[in-house]
Amino acid sequence: MEYIIFCIIAYLLGSIPTGLIVGKIGYKTDIREHGSGNLGATNTFRVLGMKAGIIVTIGDILKGTIAVVLPILFQAETVYPLIVGIFAVIGHVYPIFAKFKGGKAVATSSGVILGVNPLLFIIMIISFLVILYITKYVSLSSMLTGIITVIVTIIQKEMGLLIVTSLLTIFVIYRHKSNIKRIVDKTEPKITWM
């Protein structure tokens, strides 16, 4: 029963459409009607700018972090926080509060990792920024960071974390399948601010 409660809470947390809220309240703009139409941080950066993008990124990360920390705070010893975290990611991608059309799982997935392994989260951020600096592709940086995360968890020999990071990475890559096609076709937009 505890699992069900925490998973529902995690899904609802993940479903909070941060990009939509920031866009409508702060900028009177529905970001679903602009750019890629995606509710995630990347489209927020593209449509609303740096400040809004940073706010949405932090918000989306925190959704994953709060979801995995809740079972720990409530001392639910039979609940594995990473499984709960997966439901926050599902909520972010398929949010009940935004017609089940959300982001691409990147920021919320990293928030899940932050909640259980801050050092791995730091490695992820550094990897992402380095790859982004080299390639200028946010999508490619996100996918390669996921793969690096899996490799690091193999080295750390944490089986539970390895399984979850592998699942999240597969999910992130799946959500970026249209980006992969655009990268191959050389039509994927590159960032200009780095």
Place of tokens 């690096």: 148
193 falls within a domain: no
Residue 62's pLDDT band (cuts 50, 70, 90): very high
CB-side neighbour CA atoms (13 Å) of 164: 24
Joined tokens for residue 88: 């926050």
pLDDT 10s digits, 139-179: 999 999 999 999 999 999 889 999 999 999 999 999 999 99
pLDDT 10s digits, 103-152: 999 999 999 999 999 999 999 999 999 999 999 999 999 999 999 999 99
Q: Which amino acid is at 135?
A: T
194 falls within a domain: no
Total of domains in the chain: 1
177 falls within a domain: yes
36 falls within a domain: yes
* pTM of the predicted structure, to 2 decimals: 0.94
129 falls within a domain: yes
192 falls within a domain: no
- pLDDT value of residue 192: 84
CA separation for the pair 82, 120 (Å, rounded): 14
The share of the chain scoring above pLDDT 70, in percent, equals 100
Domain that holds residue 131: 2-185
DSSP-derived secondary structure letter, 2: H
Joined tokens for residue 113: 């990792």
Torsion of CA 127, 167, 163, 152, to 10 degrees: -10
105: left (phi over 0), alpha (psi -120 to 50) or beta: left
99 falls within a domain: yes
190 falls within a domain: no
Residue 37's pLDDT band (cuts 50, 70, 90): confident
- Inter-axis angle of helices 50-73 and 106-116, nearest 10: 40
Q: Which amino acid is at 114?
A: L
